[in-house]
Amino acid sequence: MKTRLQKVIADAGLASRREAERWIAEGRVKVNGKVITKPGTCVDPLSDEVRARGKLVPRAQERVFILLNKPSDCLTTMGVDERGRKTVMDFIKVSARVFPVGRLDYNTQGALLLTSDGALSKKLLEPRYRVPRTYLVKVRGVPDDKTLRRLSRGVALDNQATAPLEVEIDRVSGKNSFLKMKMFEGKNRHVKRICEAVRHEVIRLKRTHFGNLNLNGLPLGAYRFLSPREIKALELMVQKEPAEKEIARRRPMVKSKRTKAKR
């Protein structure tokens, strides 16, 4: 993607944009050996050689975004497991250094985002931006309306209330049921612990969506690179501070909006 020359220089930390514009106007900047004097000139920060005042401007590193359909019995870690268990990196073969955005438990499968963009990764995990994660959860028993309302309001974990979430019964299978749960924060073993708190043990857990991303057409254990449009959609989710009405939803549970569950 082409970028304005002054922005490339500023992003490299060599000068402010205004100062970079002055350097360009003074003929002190070269692109691929050619002096550039027009501040609006656009260059490719990944391939073009830019020199400002004789100093080479470091090339930008291409950001990488990957969606993996994580299998169960697989660790969300970048290192090698000392017990020889598989990790998500056994399924991804890329030269760029990527790392998971959050994590999925060892026995949980589904949508896992990995990226080289640490700043965006951190924002995507911040509860205040309310980036949704959707799960299909098989639990023992069939929750009644009261239990579903309790889950939607949030439950106490470690003496602290979890954020409200959206929950509904997707289908019933014999004595068990499948719940569709959309949540906006991710504590350790979050889904399993809140279900245990209402006495419905989790049998199987799959994350079907992360933000705007889904697993359509992606086999278990496979991965794909995100499109520019998908990356832009993720950026837009964390571009603005949450609206006041969204912040209000995170206040004490008794004041949170309840989610009506399907019957």
Give me the active site residues, please.
105
**CA-to-CA distance for 252 and 164, rounded, in angstroms?**
9
What distances in angstroms separate CA 170 from CA 7, 95, 146, 179, 211, one per listed residue? 49, 40, 17, 5, 20
Tell me the residue type at 6. Answer: Q
What distances in angstroms separate CA 75 from CA 81, 91, 109, 185, one per listed residue? 8, 11, 10, 20
Question: Do 260 and 100 meet the contact criterion of CB atoms below 8 Å apart?
Answer: no
Q: How far does the chain reach from its first CA to its final CA, in angstroms?
A: 49
Query: What DSSP designation does 91 have?
Result: S
What distances in angstroms separate CA 121 from CA 93, 114, 118, one per listed residue? 20, 9, 5
